[in-house]
Amino acid sequence: MTTKDSFSDEEWDRIVRAPFVAGFAVTAADPGGLIGAVQESSAMVKSVRDAQASAPEGSLIDDLAATFMSAEGREAARSGLKALIKGRTPTEAGTAAVAELHATMTMLHTKAPEHAAVLAQFVRDTAQNVANAASENTFPGFGGEKVSDAERKTLADIDAAVAAPTG
């Protein structure tokens, strides 16, 4: 099995950050205010907890979740995301997040292709969970839609970014 020790610190940080980068991209696509941001952030963390509970011990997802659940892992993910979005508008930050996902998946396909599909699915699931976490375009307590057009576009962009390379 591929574990954290199979990657450089920088590569591992990118892998750990991937589901949160995806969640951030969805949030940036259609910011839903404070309540929506809290709901979407909670969905990211729940995604990791759920994955850790169901992932085989010693698997890439188990190691990723264990790393993130540590204070050091959360700080590494947070600081990496801050660096990615610094000085960018939400739209620019979302685009940078999708590009980061593509670069991370390209690295994983090269270094450990047997685990790329599992991480890609985890990233997709996390992004979808974030998109479903809060209603968009609402008046407090009324109306809205579960997933906005901007979020659907971002989900499609994420799907393309984490897909296996062709050619």
Alpha helices in the chain (DSSP H): 9-29, 33-54, 60-69, 71-85, 90-111, 113-133, 149-162
- Tens-digit pLDDT profile for residues 92-142: 999 999 999 999 999 999 999 999 999 999 999 999 998 888 765 555 555
Q: What does residue 128 show for φ and ψ, rounded to 5 degrees?
A: -65, -40
The structure's pTM equals 0.86
Q: In which residue are the tokens 């991209």 written?
A: 25
CA-to-CA distance for 63 and 3, rounded, in angstroms?
6
Q: Considering only 30-39, 50-59, 82-91, 137-146, which range has the smallest mean pLDDT?
A: 137-146
- The pLDDT assigned to 45 comes to 81
Q: What is the mean pLDDT of the chain?
A: 86
Closest by CA position to 37, among listed 145, 130, 126, 158: 130
